[in-house]
Amino acid sequence: MSATTGHTPTAEGTAQVRSMLAGAHAGRKRVDTTMTVLIWGAFVLAMVPLVSLLWTVTSNGIGRISMDFLTLSARNIFGGDPSGGIYHAIMGTLIITALATVISVPIGVLAAVYLVEYGRGALARSVTFFVDVMTGIPSIVAGLFAVALFTLILGPAARFGLIGAVALSVLMIPVVVRSCEEMLKLVPNELREASYALGVPKWLTVVKVVLRTSVAGLTTGVLLAVARVIGETAPLLVAVGVTDSINTNPVDGRMMTLPVYAYRQYSQGLATCPGGESATCVPDIAIQNAWGAALVLIVLVLLLNIIGRLVNRWFAPKLR
């Protein structure tokens, strides 16, 4: 007799229960297999354009990479001349991006700290609203804003690296604010409360506890923001201009950047070689230069992402 129901289970009933369980298991297995196939299919579809992009840029640009290409400028290089390189564009990209980072990171981190730790009421809602609006600003608008600002101060002929850095900072600040805000929200409130219980002021708690705990996430967010703006072309074309010479002074004279260099080279198309292709005249050298610059730019972005991963691994809070 069954202790709970008072009935003795029959062999027919037991077989029926087993059949129902087996049917349900088979149905779950089919659903699981179907969803697994769909997820892997979506992953493959997402990877196809990325792999295609990397393969196209690498296959077209790797042949142009050389020590001369990376260490020489394009000064006095005309037509199909295969000499010269992109050193001036690399230096311009690094300098302008570094200046934009110096401008954006303090503003973005402080704004994120305000929104998470202090922001209440209408002011906090206004800051959040304007950050959201800035996130959708077209890059060309940021360039025109920077040009208009410096034109009012220095005149219409002003074109130098600092203007481009200001334009990029307009694009960087909302990304830094949003990423840092999310990282600060991940810090457990128990850590803040423990610090307050020890009599530590709020500002010191933010500096010593909150920021130190989230330093890995903050650094990763900043590097992702840098990777976001390092490939911008339109604002730099408007705000910085172009040059074929090496210029490392961001407040005096025009500068070249990798995305602008790639755009200009590709737009030149094929060169005319009177005697046909030779060692001193290559008709498609400008297109090769564009692919080479694009490959170098992708490598820079890849290095930034690797650095972000390493920082996240080294400085992330260790769980015991």
pLDDT at 76: 85
- What is the reported pTM? 0.84
**Percentage of the chain exceeding pLDDT 70:** 90
Per residue in 89-115, pLDDT (tens digit) is 999 999 999 999 999 999 999 999 999
HEC letters along the chain: CCCCCCCCCCHHHHHHHHHHHHHHHHHHHHHHHHHHHHHHHHHHHHHHHHHHHHHHHHHHHHHHCCHHHHHCCCCCCCCCCCCCCCHHHHHHHHHHHHHHHHHHHHHHHHHHHHHHHHCCHHHHHHHHHHHHHHHCCCHHHHHHHHHHHHHHHHCCCCCCHHHHHHHHHHHHHHHHHHHHHHHHHCCCHHHHHHHHHCCCCHHHHHHHHHHHHCHHHHHHHHHHHHHHHCCCCHHHHHHCCCCCCCCCCCCCCCCCCHHHHHHHHHHHCCCCCCCCCECCECCCHHHHHHHHHHHHHHHHHHHHHHHHHHHHHHHCCCCC
pLDDT at 294: 94
| Summary mean pLDDT of the chain | 87
Average pLDDT over residues 119-135: 89
Lowest mean pLDDT among 208-217, 260-269, 272-281: 272-281
Examine the pLDDT at 7 and tell me if it is beyond 60. no
Lowest mean pLDDT among 41-55, 134-148, 263-277: 263-277
Lowest mean pLDDT among 17-26, 45-54, 154-163: 17-26
Average pLDDT over residues 123-150: 91
pLDDT category, 62, cuts 50, 70, 90? Answer: very high
Average pLDDT over residues 12-31: 67
